[in-house]
Amino acid sequence: MSSFKKVTGSVEKGYDLRVDPIGIIPQEHLGPVRMRHHMNEAIARSQLLQKSNEKLAQDPECVLEEMTRNRSVFTEKDVAFFLQKHVPSEEMAGLLEKTLAHHDVVPLYDKDSAQKTIYFTTKHVRAEEEKLLRFADTIANKSTFALPVNLAEKGMAGKTLSSEQKEAFDLCVSSEQNLCIIQGRAGVGKSYVLNAIRTAHEASCFRVLGLAPTHKVAMDLRQDGFAHAKTCHSFLFAYKNGREKLDSNTLVVVDEAGMLGTTLSVELFNVIKNSGAKLVLVGDDRQLSSVERGGTFKFLSERYGAAELRDVRRQSVDWQKAVSEALAEGKVKDAVYLLEENKAISWTPTAEESLTELLKDWSKDNLLKPHETRQIITQKNVDVDALNQGVRDILRSRGKLGDTEIVCTTQRGRVAFAEGDRIQFTKTDKAQGLMNASFGIIERIDLKTKRMTIRLDNKEIKVVSPDAYDGLRHGYASTVYKAQGSTLDHVYVLHSRVTNQSTNYVALTRQAKSLELYVSHDETPSEAALIHQMSRQDGNGTSLVFDTLNDIEKRQEETPFTTQLKHGAEALLTKIKDAFHRHEKFYQFEKPKNLAIEKAEVVAPDVQANQDPTLSSDGEKAQGLQGTQKQQVPQPVPSLKDIKSLSTVIDSKVVEEALKQNMTSFADDIFSSIGEPYNPASSSSQERRYGKNGHIAVNLKTGAWIDHKNSEMAGGPLHMLTKLKGLEFKEALEYGASWAGLS
């Protein structure tokens, strides 16, 4: 098939998302190689998470489910690329044909020309999106009234709205539309307008409910004055259980509506249409859409009309404001020229040198203006891990972090934290009042209880027990998705060749004062390549912008009485089904198992290992490239002296290598001891599988392993002992050395 030939040569176009392995055990270096040390374990984890079950990938239905998990439409090339990554080459062509010929696949046609396009969807996806559209039509067609002028004016009391802000305000307050949509570009003051709309409705005796796709956005709504604000999921579960009510005197405001998935939107719209509430959707179709399948916000905006906020207010520097406006309009070339003209792009030969250059600039800026906010933004979690550790090395060398560290279990493995560390929460724990995507600073660590006192950016104080919460992560760097909705003084963006328009639009519009983009020639050879990479569409649009063959045939049909009668009966049946819409599966979820969290440990940081990488000379960098590799692993012992003493007794790198040499026997021993036997049916010469369904995979060459039922259970040979056998790291070293017969 031609698609396979196209895919094979598409690396330079950014389609190849693979990361080459470097190693499981981190190794210490200076300069650019130092960044490799911080990336090793994260790269191995990233590789394992990308690996899919080959048996499932050979089932066309599973392929289609994967294709539409995060998008509504796909192309032949998308399927070919997926199969290339997960299926043996000799089986690709036949499986591609079977997948595209599957009875659930729906070819899509251009609405104007009726010509067949390169895009496909599935019957399930199309039906769900058409149902969403019917629900939205019902909401939009409901009659409503404009607020009385004297009450509407209360919303504007003390505020000065620009002409476009006033237009958005009037749409939601003074028109008779029951479904109002506001398209607000990045940094245009959406919150200011929403505050006025909320106040006017509250003055008119409306109950105003703020909803959001994430806890972070919901918290922002509460800070902006919404007394009732929660996530859409939280609201829907409360509504189903009788703890929430809506009526015609309720205004529902959904912020960041572009991030809503289609399934979530269907459930939310169903509740709103049945209650008669008024709905305001606020978002930006150019920013990141939902992680789940979505992309309908732009279509709804065009269908029902939207007030648009374009005047950027976040940036005060003229050229930065011009960059934001150019990206909002899709003028990527203009944005790149402005960045180059203002020396805001830092070019380096390699990706590792980009990381080092970024850390140098961060270090210098932090030294000169320590009290201003700054954030590093990147696309890949592997880079987040490396940059977070790099910043900690800088702060440690300057004495900005506490003398004692707590090493605790996180979703990214065992990680050390100290007083003064900037952190982020990566999961929600309502019992402790911790919300995903919140950032803050560790102000105090109680060495007896190991509890951390954290001051969040919104000034709230949280006390976290690391023995009961594994959602901590360093917060100096974050992914683009986590940064969406934030405003920082200084932003440092690490470019990736797998970028697209949406991710760049979000990343390059977060700053209020300064912006720097770091690009490497090995991933992006030229300015033209940078423009090409930044101009890519994310492919997350809706199938509703296309016709199906059934749509075309219906329009072309003659309409005798019998046909009209048939279509009328079909419409009536659909209306009845919509009235009785139930999606019980949406409300069913398996509560995550409370896996045993390895106890937090108090350690003394190895200050010598944490030298400021920004102080390294070229000679030091060369020495780091050629010199011996130093092991850096936090040890659960009370003093620096003891740490160094232990490292002379057991070399973890030697133990790890010895276990890798006997990986088959070692893995058999460990997994059989926990009741997960060897599964020969799903194993191969390079990968050994365990468990009844072969859900645990072990790479016999690298020693890397992962449990596909719980991706947090992954790592190298020694992690089998710490995560599966519950051993402390020192005990794992001793066990591994004994098993391998090392003295």
**Hey, which residues does 515 pair with through a beta bridge?**
491
Name the architecture of domain 318-523. 3-Layer(aba) Sandwich (3.40)
Average pLDDT, the chain: 82
Give the DSSP H/E element, type plus range, for residue 62: helix 60-67
Name the architecture of domain 142-309. 3-Layer(aba) Sandwich (3.40)
| H helix intervals, 116-231 | 123-141, 149-156, 163-173, 190-203, 215-223
In eight-state DSSP terms, residue 297 is: H
What number of H helices and E strands is found in the chain?
29, 28
The predicted structure's pLDDT at residue 483: 87
Range 652-740 has CATH code 3.90.580: yes
The predicted structure's pLDDT at residue 561: 61
DSSP state string for 372-398:
S-EEEEES-HHHHHHHHHHHHHHHHHT
Q: Give the C-alpha separation, 592 to 251, whole Å.
A: 34
Q: Give the C-alpha separation, 643 to 636, whole Å.
A: 8
Contact 521, 348 (CB under 8 A): yes
Phi, psi of 4 (to 5 degrees): -70, -40
CB atoms within 10 A of CB 734: 17
- Joined together, the tokens standing for residue 456 give 């969040």
- Joined together, the tokens standing for residue 585 give 């599966």
Can you give the pTM of this predicted structure? 0.69
Contact 425, 475 (CB under 8 A): no
The predicted structure's pLDDT at residue 395: 93
- Joined together, the tokens standing for residue 559 give 């309409």
Q: What is the pLDDT of residues 91-139, one digit of tens each?
A: 777 888 999 999 999 999 999 899 999 999 999 999 999 999 999 999 9
CA 354 to chain centre: 22
- Joined together, the tokens standing for residue 147 give 């607020």
The predicted structure's pLDDT at residue 629: 33
Identity of residue 282: V
The predicted structure's pLDDT at residue 400: 92
Phi, psi of 274 (to 5 degrees): -75, -25
Q: Helices 123-141 and 262-275: crossing angle, nearest 10°?
A: 30
From residue 254, alpha-carbon distances to 54, 157, 278, 282, 365 in Å are: 40, 23, 11, 6, 37
Classify residue 451 as left (phi > 0), alpha (psi -120 to 50) or beta. Answer: beta
Q: What is the pLDDT of residues 644-695, one digit of tens each?
A: 333 334 567 788 888 888 888 888 888 887 888 888 888 888 889 988 888 8
Low-confidence ranges of the chain (pLDDT < 70): 1-58, 557-567, 589-596, 606-651, 743
CB atoms within 10 A of CB 76: 18
Q: How buried is residue 481: exposed, middle or buried, by Cβ count under 10 Å (0-12/13-18/19+)?
A: middle
Contact 735, 727 (CB under 8 A): yes
Position of tokens 């920013």? Answer: 287
Q: Give the C-alpha separation, 63 to 82, whole Å.
A: 8
| Range(s) within the chain of domains with CATH label 3.90.580 | 652-740
- Joined together, the tokens standing for residue 316 give 């005060």
| Range(s) within the chain of domains with CATH label 3.40.50.300 | 142-309
